[in-house]
Structure 1
């Protein structure tokens, strides 16, 4: 610091000398002007130097203070390449020294560490830290908010639903040796509240584990199978669709079986719109059916593993009577004013929020929020694409612009004003955009709005969803939905990109499209590539293609390998093929192999076959095994190659 003061003193001395010379040689007004200028210079130089010193002192906190704040204190001298400082950095950052690579000067820069990946060593141990069912907070478990009561309670008292007795019986049965229970209903029907209350009445002491979306459920099942759980475990999967279609890390039949073997009780909720999509009786037929088989049939087979309870959105007279007798002002109001809506639906303000969103697309001069309407519409449609990743504010800023087309005359508000309007709670209950994280950087549309939306999704929104999906399995789900929504060109482009990166489902879907278009050589090539990386779904499709070309022996080999791998539909096609050739003695052989591999419906199928052959004792054995495994539904009938009136093998 001493050299700084020497410089300040020298500068002042030089200025004074210049002032003396000016006074001696310059008379009159001109001299006065020089005096004023020199005086200003003498004053300014020390002031400037002192200001620089003060700024430098503030920009360099002591190492002790920095350490106590959890900051990173380091410096970079001469560097021949790029220099990087990592950690939490707050405050001004200055470039100092003679760096020879890429350097940057930043002001008020904040760098935060990303949250740990679920399942990593840094991620919280959800098994070890899980609380009991009795301790579970309804709001954190997915129960919709309601207006706070006069006594400060966040939710009104629970009103018994007509399905409670059945729900409790299913949960108790699942607790006897591992099982799965699913509550299906519309948004705001009361699914999460009913399921959680049933758990609290039947299994209050069990530990409740609610995996984060994207968590590796297969790893969780392995952990539970190797960890002693004295009081047992409940795995809570609210909004089950968020855990489906994520490959081996999501919920699959194998993972569900592993959870059951670990004596875990799996309790899930699912909106009706998704359940209807996956149900076997809603599957298409013919050529269209080829495309939906892998996506919907596999999930339909998974859902058949659950004991399912349907919960109506509109309450029954008995439920309304119990709500009126509960003695809560919120329930009293809901009973009096719910109209055509359900009580839980009214309490969650679903109809009011939907009406406010739909009415917002009008001029700001008339109290409208056209940009706010567009923001919510973008969030709603992103959810409809199958995107599981919650949109950030920046993502919504990008995605909402197409929804403002033709709205210039409405004088849209600013983005900040629109976001503020959309995230404001209404009626003390919920908001149109619901924060997905504590920092309110990510937002989801209120699910009641998602369920009510029917308008076509713009191509730009599909592309945004594909660009921001968290992984290839999630991206593949979006591709499938885009194709079903008549966005075929976009779906093909994305699917080809996934196939090039090695995604077997994408390879297979490209094969399906080629097969449907009559491009059999391309289809076979696509299928075989997927088979080569162990994708059993492609085996079934390859077998079907080969059979259509008269290559029966090759088709039989594909069906057989797929059946042993657990594909119940492949088993059925193989049995049809053997029956057509009069090889009935081999039908039982393949039925046994499929049953031994626990293919969906195979144990039930074998038991039925043996019963028809008069082998009642062994038939009873397999039928009991099927019942114990909840495997009582035979595989869905595939597109038959036989005439509608032809007799089947069973």
Structure 2
């Protein structure tokens, strides 16, 4: 294959012509090329008619070549289909960090623009001020725009403002080079479109006003040693705050940078005008600046008249500081306005205080309101237990009669127990396979009703199809253990949860469908311990830590850096860690395929 980047460079006399292209095609060479749309337009018949005769004669040679090819137009902005594929890719635990960064920060620019031009523009911006014939004033203009964006300004920035602030970034050593670079030249350099995409400063709908290319802002802000924003720039940000509409983001940026006095200056006028968001933020700032004056009046006002989100946030702050009654009151206020998360958090408070009935009531309300964690709480697997006197099992075995432990052989599942568990693993796998075909990469939602994947913890609901297929394989792997005459031994978190669901399903079958159980176990002898699912649950697992994922009170425990996780030695329960095999069990064959 022959790849010609910027094809126009090859459409010159002595370059690619009709004869050469035909020769390449006869040799079965695939020829691919790229060309920017504005350059491609220069070879159209309409464009050629308006050109100088000599230039048109040269370009007509290239036009004849272009007439032989099949163009594929690639839009600067990705289509909804392409964005959908990007979202599916980012749902994969092994996503490309560059694509993730572009997806989150590309702003008004397309993903392709962000990826193609961003690194090049950043490289030139970082090196130009150090070069002997660089552009120190131009780089200072760009730095001023970047820092104003970091300070919370997103509206167009007048060139006059940028020129005034550029002096903050110029050193005495720049003086000699500044004589050769006028303000006008600096602005031209900073705004010049490069790589056919954009300049470091991007034009806006406002005349003589600019904004920085998003990639530059993100790169500078995420640098390990991000530079401080000068005082003059902070003051300019407050002044520029567009009649007050940007005071809130400027104040929040100031708070993040530890500029508490400046943040208070931004929030105060908005709070005085009744802005509940500003009241909420002002309360945090005042509390940080003057900790001896806890819970300023702004908090009380927001708590009583603010939005559900603000009431919930205040409840969380009360909870952090151990004021449980105040936290409960805030959550109830937010819940009264339909905030499902507040309902769940209110249930957590009740659960912490061992008020189980109260907690259950709030979790029901949260689940009905669509809270994913609360919904999953009611999906956690457990063991079904029959009414006394209706147990299936050996008629000759009384579970209440003790036997001599010295005569006891090592425990293993009985033949009938193994058969029923195997049947339920197979049933679940078949159902999960059908569900996987229908669900694909779509996320599970609070309205999803499924046999298997919708019953997994809420933290897994956004996982892609290939992740779900590996969970399906966990069911098959456990069933393979039984087929080989062994008790199922979970090797990873996915297999642990798969076995929990299989035990739940098997125990339900022995409780509710005795005729079906008899059909499945026909010909197998009765034995002591048939269908003792509680014993199976105790002995087939190393621990039941995976079930913490269903507990609303334990949210966050799945992360290995969580202090409680580390204290309990739980390990990584995040979805991306579900298939890491435990180090104290024999590994499965990595070359095994998929049964389903």
Interval of TM-score (by shorter of Structure 1 and Structure 2) = 0.3 to 0.5
Instruction: State TM-score, norm by structure 2.
Output: 0.45
- Normalised by the length of structure 1, the TM-score is 0.42
